[in-house]
Structure 1
Amino acid sequence: MIQFLADNIDQLDLALDQLAVCDRNFDRFALMLVDNVVELTLHRFIQDRANENEMWGRFSEPKHDPKLIQKGLDQNFDGKAKVARNLGLFDQSLCESILHLHSYRNSSYHQGLRHEAILHSLAIFYFKCACEVLKAYEPQMWGWSSNDKISYRAKKYLGNIGFMNRKTAFHAAYVRLSEVVSSMENTLIHDLTEDMRSTIDSTDYAINFLSTDGPDDKNRDQVVVDSQAWPFAFTDEGKRFAHEGGCSNQTVGCLVNWLIANYNWPVPADPIPSWMSRLNSLSKEKEEHKALKKYCDFMRQTEDIRSKIDESAFQLDGHIQQQIDIMRGK
């Protein structure tokens, strides 16, 4: 157990080195290191509860719900975090932040998404969350093996730990790690706010482009609905809705017009005013967990309509370029 905990400290100290560089590639590495520490600690915490069930079960019913424990021991990170929350390791706000931060680690590592504007702040905040998880985790036993080798990185925080002061030494190490990362510039809420603002501005520009530069005279509400109607018309759901509604139009254009008039669109009008209200709420937020939740909720809830509007703007730009090429050819 001492080796496991010391290795966590080693990884976090290495993550600090990466964060100190203030470069996006090093930030990405730091995020991965922190995420690994959190996932390993969650798994060990749940494994401890499974061990308690085995010991408890010799005398009575298991102490913890076996199905819950099994869910936590599976490979799914979300399951581990939620089970650890249900078993009392941390509260709902920390659980939600860990889940959000893990998703950024996944998208950064597996999908290649860069998140450059917010990656440094996210990594620092995840580091703080990791320290809270480690401080909350109480091992079943503070076992020591002669094969344990404590790295110099870990010894910087632990010193020469004796048999009696291991718990105190590790808690002090977590506190110190938290103090060091907290000394770095804290710009999380500002960075999230500015990235949301940039996202809104991009969609606002696309809506304006579609409204003012399209072949037809349409207002912003209309182009937002159009952006949803055209892709929907080619789906099985869209065709089924039109058929069940009695639409007899044979051309795609007529089908789209019928859908525009009859379908209950998820975003029926220009969303920018309501998005600006959400941006204002985020900018005034003081608590980091709440700020991250507001930001992530916005990005998730608006992802579909933003992608549809972007695609419509891309198609219009392609159409304009095609017309320019045709005129040049003449």
Structure 2
Amino acid sequence: MLQFVADQVDQLDLALDQLAVRDRNFDRFAMMLIDNVVELTLHRHAREKARENEMWRHDSSPKNDPKVVAAALGQSFEAKVCLARSTSMIPAEVAQSIQYLHAFRNTVYHQGRRHEGILHSLAIFYFQNACSVLEGFKPMWWSTGSRDRISHRAIKYLGSPKLFEHREVMASACTRLRQVGNSLGQTLIADLQADMNNTIERVDEMIDFLTTEAPQTTSRKQAIISAQAWPFAFSDDGKQWARDNHCPTDTVGGYVDWLSANYPWPVRADPVSGWRKRLVSLKAEKDLNAALKKYCDFMRQTEDFRSKIDESASQLDAYIQQQIDIARGK
């Protein structure tokens, strides 16, 4: 067990080195190291809870919900977090933040997303939460062996602890890791606010572009509905909704106009002013966990609409470029 904990401390110290460089590629590496520590520690926690159930299997009821433990021993990160929360290893707000941060790690690793402007502060915040996870890990007993090899990175925080001192040493090590992490600075709320503001302004500009540069004069509301109507009109769901509601026209233009007027669109009015109110709320937030939730909720809830506006603006831009080429005789 000592070897396992020392390895996690080693990785966190290595992550600190990457974060100190303040380069996005090093931030990506740090994010992956930190996420690995969190997932491994949560999985080891699940193994400990399974062992507890086995030791007290003759009791009238198991100490830990067997279904929750079994799920946590699988591949699901969410299930591991659920067990950690239900067994009071970590508080609910930390559990929620870890899931958001794990999702960011996935987009960085699997999709190559850069998250310009927020990745560094996200990684620092994830580091702080990883310290909470490691500190909350309390095995039933500590063990060490002759094959244990404690790295120089881990010794900086753990020293050469005696077996009976492990719990105290771990608490001290996590405190020291946090202190070093805090020395890197914490700009999470400011960075999230800036990124959210840029997102809102970009959508606002695209809606303006759709209203001022389209071949036919249109209002912001019409542009917003149209951006949703055209892709929906030719989807299977759109065609089925039109059949179920007895669309009265067979022409493409009439069909889209009818859908525009009758379908209950998720966004029917200009959302920008409401978004800016949410931005003010984020800017005023003092709690890092709450701020991350507000940011992630906004990005998730608006993602589909923002994607449709972006696609509509891209199509209009392509049409304008085509007309320019035609006028130039190309």
Equivalent residue number for residue 159 of structure 2: 159
Match of residue 112 from structure 1? 112
**Structure 1 position 141, deviation (Å):** 1.0
What fraction of aligned residue pairs are identical, expressed as a percent? 56
Q: CA deviation at 1:149?
A: 0.5
Determine if contact 2:143/2:163 at 8 Å carries over to the other structure.
no
Aligned twin of 1:184: 184
2:128 is aligned to 128
- Give the equivalent residue in structure 2 for 1:143: 143
Question: Within 1, Cα distance between the matches of 2:152 and 2:62?
Answer: 41
Match of 2:231 in 1: 231
* CA–CA distance in structure 2, aligned partners of residues 184 and 229 of structure 1: 47
Structure 2: any 5+ residue segments left out of the alignment? none
In 2, the alpha carbon distance for the partners of 1:35 and 1:163 equals 28
Measured after TM superposition, the shift of residue 186 of structure 1 is 1.0
Q: Is the 8 A contact 2:15 2:30 kept in 1?
A: yes
Distance (Å, rounded) in 2 between the aligned partners of 1:99 and 1:127: 13
Q: Distance in 2 between matches of 1:277 and 1:88?
A: 35
Q: Distance in 2 between matches of 1:307 and 1:296?
A: 16
Structure 1 residue 250 corresponds to structure 2 residue 270 = no
* Partners of 1:235 and 1:164 in 2: CA distance: 65
Q: 1:104-161 deviations in whole A, cap 9, x for unaligned? A: 0000001111102100000000000011111111111110111100000000111121
State the match for 2:50 in structure 1: 50
Look up the match of 1:321.
321
- The aligned amino acid for 2:8 is N
**Cα distance in structure 1, aligned partners of 2:317 and 2:163:** 70
Deviation at 1:59, TM superposition (A): 4.5
Maintained 8 Å contact 1:233/1:252? no
Contact map agreement 2:158 2:170 (CA 8 A) in 1 = yes
Residue 163 of structure 1: how far off its partner (Å): 2.4
The 2-side partners of 1:227 and 1:118 are apart by 29
What is the TM-score normalised by the length of structure 2?
0.98
2:259 maps to what in 1? Answer: 259
> 1:80: Cα distance to partner?
0.8
For 1:212 and 1:303, the matched residues in 2 are separated by: 24
SS, match of residue 164 in structure 2: coil
Q: Deviations over 1:54-80 (max 9, x none)?
A: 110034432222111111111011111
SS at match of 2:161: coil
Corresponding residue number in structure 2 for 1:68? 68
SS at match of 1:196: helix
Q: Which amino acid aligns with 1:166?
A: H
For residue 221 of structure 1, give the secondary structure of its aligned residue in structure 2: helix
Counterpart Cα distance in 1 of 2:184 and 2:264: 48
Task: Look up the match of 1:207.
Answer: 207
Q: What is the rounded CA distance, in whole Å, between the counterparts of 2:266 and 2:116 in structure 1?
A: 30
Q: State TM-score, norm by structure 1.
A: 0.98
Report the residue type matching 1:179 in the other structure: Q
What is the CA–CA distance in structure 2 between the aligned matches of 1:153 and 1:224, rounded to whole Å? 55
RMSD, aligned CA = 1.0
Q: How many pairs are equivalent?
A: 330
SS in 1 for 2:328: helix
**What is the identity, as a one-letter code, of the residue corresponding to 1:162?**
K
Distance 2:159 2:86 in 1: 34
